[in-house]
Amino acid sequence: MAKEPDPRTELAALAASLKATDGLRTGYVLRGQERWYRQRALELVLAAAQARSLEICRHDARDPEFRLQGLADDLTSQAMFASARCVVISEPEDLLKKTSAGVESGIARAARSFVKAKRGTLVLVADALRADNATLKEIVAAGGVVHAFRRLYDRPSPWERDQDPRRAELCTWILARAKELGLPLAPDRALLLAHAQGNDLAALDAQLASMASGGPDAAMQTGLAAAGSPGEVADALILGELPRAMLAIETLYRGGVRKEKDGGRETSVEAINAILLGYLRPKLRQGLTAEIARAGGASDADALSAAGIGAFDRALRDMLGKRGAERWQAMLDDLLDVERRSRHGASIDASELTRLALRWSRRPRSAAPPARASR
């Protein structure tokens, strides 16, 4: 499977193309999960359309005020105040897919006709528009382009020699964006922000703008006050990545856990302990189950399946075969001991989790499964 392009490279290529060409292409497909880059790509296309005096018509299929007839009119009629139109459709996936009977929607037919007739420029902005979508294929056939904007990697790829998380795409983006805003930011502070906010460029951008407007003191306090992530702590502990684990633990116990319902935070140590330990315990059991299966002769794929480890649980998948069942059992015993002491009134806080991080940070060497006995 080909590696997805770097979204920074994609945005630069789009900017260069718009600057180099005399006119806009027939169509642009801006897709991918990273909305921050998609929005900037759209801004570039719209600026080019305005510079060429195109009539801009914008439609968002998820907007409560979206009108299907209004979109159909813009795709099928002539521009009233310009020589051509630039029609933007945001989140068009449902509008452009076929019905259960395989019938193409009226909007899809209108969009393809718009592109074929070259009445202007059609721009599709989507999270996940399939490559075999008929409208997308029509845009490409007519000379349009597709730009994909994946999320930035929040840590180096496993095959890279330098595994310093401060060199990951997300961290380097934070440093570059801070520089653009005139905000002095050290790599360690950028890493702390990445752990606190997660892989959300819009939230990070807002945070950096706030820090830039508040000066160095605000930059320090805002980073430390950001909410933490139990999943980030658990992954770092499982992987034995001590610097990353210590930063994630500090962020979690200082900033609390963000509540999904109201956007507030859970900041009591007792609640944070319950959430984190409840998240980590089943992970350790899965790691133990997978290693037991592997030691019994199961293939890696079968061991992962037996433990219920999914394709996106990168931490557990990365550690398969790198520590034996005895080590996983010892880690689980450590955690259960912490839980027992917390139920009996012991004070469990960030220092206790840091102690676990230190104990679990010694990365074991890869080991092949035991050889099967000959019959």
Identify any residues that bridge with 18 across adjacent strands, giving them in sequence order.
Answer: none
In contact, 242 and 361? CB cutoff 8 Å = yes
CA distance 302 to 290: 9
Quick one: 303 exposed, middle or buried, by C-beta within 10 A (0-12, 13-18, 19+)?
buried
pLDDT tens digits for range 148-167: 999 998 877 666 666 677 78
Name the band, by pLDDT with cuts 50, 70 and 90, for residue 226: low
pLDDT tens digits for range 139-148: 999 999 999 9
Question: 70-79, 247-256, 260-269: lowest mean pLDDT where?
Answer: 260-269
Question: Does residue 369 surpass a pLDDT of 80?
Answer: no
The pLDDT of residue 292 is 96
What percentage of the chain exceeds 70 in pLDDT?
87
Beta strand 120-126 with 85-90 is: parallel
The pLDDT of residue 362 is 61
Torsion of CA 300, 305, 310, 311, to 10 degrees: 40
The pLDDT of residue 264 is 66
The pLDDT of residue 49 is 93
Domains located in the chain, CATH noted: 7-148 (3.40.50.300), 152-226 (1.10.8), 259-366 (no CATH)
pLDDT tens digits for range 274-288: 999 998 999 999 999
Quick one: 187 exposed, middle or buried, by C-beta within 10 A (0-12, 13-18, 19+)?
middle
Name the band, by pLDDT with cuts 50, 70 and 90, for residue 373: very low
CA distance 89 to 61: 7
Give SS3 for 294. Answer: helix
Name the band, by pLDDT with cuts 50, 70 and 90, for residue 332: very high
The pLDDT of residue 71 is 93
pTM: 0.62
The one-letter code for the residue type at 217 is D
The one-letter code for the residue type at 305 is S
